Every structure is written in structure tokens, then in C-alpha cells.
Structure 1
Amino acid sequence: MSVKQAVRRQYQAVVDLTQGGNIQVPSEGWIRTVRKALGMSGAQLARRMGVTRARIAQVEQAELEGGVTLKSMQATAEAMGCRFVYAFVPPETIENLIIAQARKKAQAIVATAGKHMALEDQTVTEGRTRQEMTRLMNELIHEMPSDFWQDK
């Protein structure tokens, strides 16, 4: 295993830790939900942050609209005695996402080659096609060419 592959595996392990997290954003957003859970008014949070009540309302609304900054989220969380964390949570393991992309690319390569061969009356058996798919997938996963994540 190359150093590049070992480093990639380490990153994969970190991301895979998010599996099963099933994190759902509350319908009112995290800021308002945590603030209410603490029994803290908007005015009280504003005082703790040294801003106006109107600013708290703006931040809560910006969170719901997807326009809040990470810096604002962190400052607000700290003012409520919390730690702000954000994450990307893949639907499955990183390895499975890589395998799926390799399969997709291998299928495209095999399909293109199959069309050319059919034009030349050189069809390949289904078993041979599966073997070539597996070989290509393994090669793509191992090599990770620069166009690996390009879909065409």
C-alpha cells in the first residue's frame, strides 16, 4: 500500500465514524431549539453574546434559510454553553461510495468497448464481461486516476 493510499484510508476511517449518526436538523433550527431547551429567551442570549435581540432573530432565521455562517453558529453555541460541530455524513461507508463510483466508471468503459466490439462482430461472453468489470473496478480503486470522480 502506498503512502497516498494509507493516508486516504485514514481519512476514510474518520469520515466513517459518522455512520449511524442519523442527525436530523430540528424544524425550528438548532439555535432556537437549544435556546428553548435551555429555557433561555432571545433577549437573554443576545445579552450573553453582546448583540441585540433582533440580531438573534436574524441568526435564527439565517440558520433556517441556510445562510448562517459557521462563525455565527460557533459563537451562538458557545454563548449557550454548547460546542458547535458540523459534519458531512455519507449515506454509507466511504469505501462503498468509492466502489460504487468505480463500478459506474467500469460499466461505462466496458459498455463503450462492447459497442466497438459489436460493430466488429466480436461479442464477448457475459462471464468475460463480468471478469473485465471486476478487473477494471479493482484497477480504478487502486489507481484512483485523476478523472475518477468525473462522470463522463
Structure 2
Amino acid sequence: MNVRQAVRRQYQALVDITRGGKIQVPAEGWIRTVRKALGMSGAQLAGRMGVTRARIAQMEQAEIAGGVTLKSMQATAEAMGCRFVYAFVPPDTVEAIIVAQARKKAEAIVATAGKHMALEDQAVGGNRTEREVSRLTSELLYEMPSDFWQDK
């Protein structure tokens, strides 16, 4: 394992930690949900933040619509005595996502080569094709070429 691969594995471990959190955004959004859980009115939150009650309502709506800024979320969380955290949560391990991309790329390369070979009446069987996909997947995983994430 080279230094680049070791660093990538360290980043993967950091991202994979988020998978266990099973975080779901509440239907009313975090601002309103936490505010209500604390028994805090919109006016009280507004007072703590130095903004109007209307601004709190706007932020709650903006959060639901996806238009609230990270800076606003952090300030609101702090005003409610909370810590604001955001994360990207992958559906699987980072390694599994990388392996899936390598396989997808390998299948595309082998399919393109197979079309050309078929045109020349040199088509190969399914078992040999699968072996080549596996071999190429391993090669792509090791080399991680610069076009690794380009689908075409």
C-alpha cells in the first residue's frame, strides 16, 4: 500500500463512521423540532438570536425547502444550546462504493472491447468475459486512474 492509498483509507474510515448514525431529518425540520422539544417559542428563539419572529419562521421554512445556509443553522443551533453538525452519509462503505465504480468501469471497457471483437467475429464466452471484468476491476482499484469517476 502506497502513501496515497493509506491516506485514502484514513479518509474512508472517517466517512464510514457516519453510516452508523441513522440520521433522519424530522418532517418539520431540525429548527422547529428542537425548538419545540426545548419548549421554546419562536419569539424566544428570535430574542436569543437578535432577529424578528418572522425571521425564525422564514428560517424554518427555508430549512424544509433546502434553502437555509449552514451559517444560519449553526447560529440557530447555538442559540438553542445545541451544536450543529452536518455530514454526508454514504449508503454503503466507501470501499464498497469504490469497488462498484471500478466494476462498472471495467464492465464498460470489456463491453466496448467485446463489441469490436464481435464485429471481427472474435467474440469470447461469458466465463472469460467475467474473468476479464474481475481482472480489470482489480487493476482499476489498484491504479485509480485520473478518469476513474468519469462514467464515459
- TM-score norm. by structure 1 comes to 0.97
CA distance in 1, matches of 2:123, 2:76: 64
Q: Report SS of the residue matched to 1:140.
A: helix
Does structure 1 residue 61 correspond to structure 2 residue 65? no
**Unaligned stretches of 5+ residues in structure 1:** none
1:1-152 correspondence to structure 2 within 5 Å: 1-152=1-152
CA distance in 1, matches of 2:19, 2:33: 24
> Is the deviation greater in 124-133 or in 61-70?
124-133
Deviation at 1:128?
1.6
Q: Report SS of the residue matched to 1:17.
A: helix
CA distance in 2, matches of 1:62, 1:123: 56
**Unaligned stretches of 5+ residues in structure 2:** none
Q: Which runs of structure 1 show a deviation greater than 2 angstroms over 4 or more consecutive aligned residues?
A: none
Q: Deviations over 1:35-91 (max 9, x none)?
A: 000000001111111111111111111101111000000000001000000000010
Q: Report SS of the residue matched to 1:46.
A: helix
Identity of aligned pairs, percent?
81
